[in-house]
Amino acid sequence: MSGTTLLINLAGSIALLLWGTHMISSALLRGFGTPLRHWLGKNLNNRWMALLSGVGITGILQSSTAVSLMATSFTAAGTLGLAPALAVMLGANIGSTLVVQLLSFDISIVTPLVLLVGFIVFRLRDDSRYESVGCALIGLGLMLLALRMLGATLGEVEGTPIFHAVMQSLDGDIVIALLVAMLLTWICHSSVAVVLLIASLAGTGLLSPVTTMALVLGVNIGGALPSVLNASSSVARRLPVGNLLVRVVGAVVLLPFVPMLAQTSQIADLTPALLVVCLHTSFNLVLALVFIGLTELLAKLLTRLLPSPARDVDPGMPLYLDEAGLEVANIGLSNAAREALRLADMLSIMLNRVLQLFQTSDQANADEIRQIDQSLDLLSAAIRAYLADIGQEGISDSDADRSQEILMFVINLEHAADILSTSLAQLAARRLRRGETFSAFELGTLYPLHNELLESLSLAITVFLREDLPTAHHLINRKESVRRLEAAASREHFRTLREDKSAWAESGDIFQRLLRDYRRVHHHIAALAYPVLERAGERDIESSDLADIHPQSTRDKDDLRCAS
């Protein structure tokens, strides 16, 4: 077999191995990622529980990189402390060694059975959970098949002169061997694949124990590099940098003792492949035991070295829409939900500025309302685009429902802000430009409506975060109280106009339109309760509700139908 053919076979085997790993992690995260995320957020405050969780989850997902991605997202979101997240990564490193040990045995007979069972489960019924389990089993089967192909290819590579020359050039130079293993692991994005490759090479007898051990140390360092380079912010980079520091410290401390350990392995009569597996496991176990008590100190150091950056001047720039979350649906949805809450904060600020505009003739309030609305529109567009890109390989039914809830939350808040900016603020500014101030009666009428909107917005956020059915009922029932306030204020205002003949007719019309706009804004806020009610099977969004929300805009109705 020619050298080119061998290289192609070797690259194809590694690619198939990586793809099988990707199928397992992505399928399980897609089908069970949301319950897993909730469990992680509640049970990882204890460092030892976090360590064991990292071991178990890595064993299930077959990828410490996937665990690192999840833990990094939770840490950046503030739902998981940096110290327990570091403990999770210590456990994930141990978990990856268990995967190596499992795959180092000759289990070739299992490969066709796993592929067959995976295909049957995948086609068993139209359910996202069965599909996820089936895809994971097929991915495991592909990994086992790739390992068989890798072993066969390496058997051919062993006899090539170029391979002998490369191995001889590495033998005896432990620093170069360590750097080569680091680079190879970074390129492959899988420490499991490279460790198994080293074990196979060591079994050929071309590598001395010293070189083999140096390669294993390089793999452990290189396995932490992809997460560091893929992090999008200093906060998100803290956890992968901490994991990298732990591995670098361990490798630097152990490297001078490699020759002595090699002699010990020869005395113990360990086979080369067993030496690779034992060193890889022992290295990560010792690191976990040493650093598990130092996670708090390391977390403080990383926070000081990588401080939170100053936020952009424009609040419309997204802060949490990490591209890494697009590959893991539940993480991406969490990122989108965090940005959606920023929209709610912007709307609350706009409401307060509108009230200040009623009270004073300061044009700065009107300008600020317009600027916040522009930022809100910018962030809303970013969230919608992000939601459209999440889980392009498919997401579970529950994640798809959550995506629609976030979309509806974003659309309703955007429309409510448009009413505040283009109608309420403009009407108030029109009166103020003519030198007409709002009377004590008008302000006394608008204050209760304003407070009702703020309270309803707070309830809507609670419904959005907790999916609380009683709160959703309470939010819907508040529509009637707002309607009564609007009707009573309108009747009282007409009575005042009849008694005061000097009042401007246009001023009275503006006030009536303000009352109507306040109610329209409240309808958008109250509509955020509908997804929870629909999931409980209690009601659908009625066409009359949609008409009340935005009667003059057909485009808004279409957006709401898409969101719901």
Q: What is the pLDDT of residues 475-498, one digit of tens each?
A: 888 888 888 888 887 777 777 666
Phi and psi angles of residue 99, each rounded to the nearest 5 degrees, phi first: -65, -40
Quick one: residue 189, left, alpha or beta (phi over 0 = left, psi -120 to 50 = alpha)? left
pLDDT tens digit at each of 564 positions of the chain: 666 787 788 788 778 877 876 777 677 666 776 666 666 656 666 778 888 888 887 776 556 666 676 677 667 655 567 888 888 888 888 888 877 777 666 666 778 888 899 888 888 766 667 888 888 889 878 877 876 786 677 667 656 677 667 767 777 678 888 888 888 788 766 677 778 778 877 776 777 888 888 888 998 898 888 778 777 677 778 888 998 999 999 999 998 888 888 787 776 667 777 888 888 888 989 999 999 888 889 988 988 888 876 554 567 788 878 766 676 677 788 888 888 999 999 999 988 888 888 777 667 777 888 888 888 988 888 898 888 888 655 677 777 888 888 999 999 999 999 988 888 788 777 777 766 677 777 778 778 888 888 888 988 998 888 877 888 888 888 888 888 888 887 777 777 666 665 544 445 567 778 888 888 888 899 888 888 888 777 754 443 443 344 443 333 433 333 333
Interacting residues of 14 by C-beta distance below 8 A, sequence separation 6+: 146, 150, 188, 193, 197
pLDDT of residue 78: 58
Q: Is the pTM of this model over 0.75?
A: no
pLDDT of residue 547: 39
Q: What is the pLDDT of residues 222-257, one digit of tens each?
A: 888 877 877 767 777 888 899 899 999 999 999 888
Task: Give the type of residue at 492.
Answer: E
Comparing C-alpha atoms, which of 485, 543, 510 is closest to residue 423?
Answer: 510
Residue 278, classified by CB atoms within 10 Å of its CB into exposed (0-12), middle (13-18) or buried (19+), is middle
Q: Which domains does the chain have, with CATH numbers?
A: 3-305 (no CATH), 323-546 (1.20.58.220)
Chain CA centroid to CA 252, Å: 33
pLDDT of residue 246: 92
> Rounded to 10 degrees, what is the CA torsion of 111, 115, 120, 123?
170
Diameter of the chain by CA atoms? Answer: 109
Give the helix, strand, coil percentages of the chain, each rounded to 5.
85, 0, 15
Structure tokens at 259: 């020759």
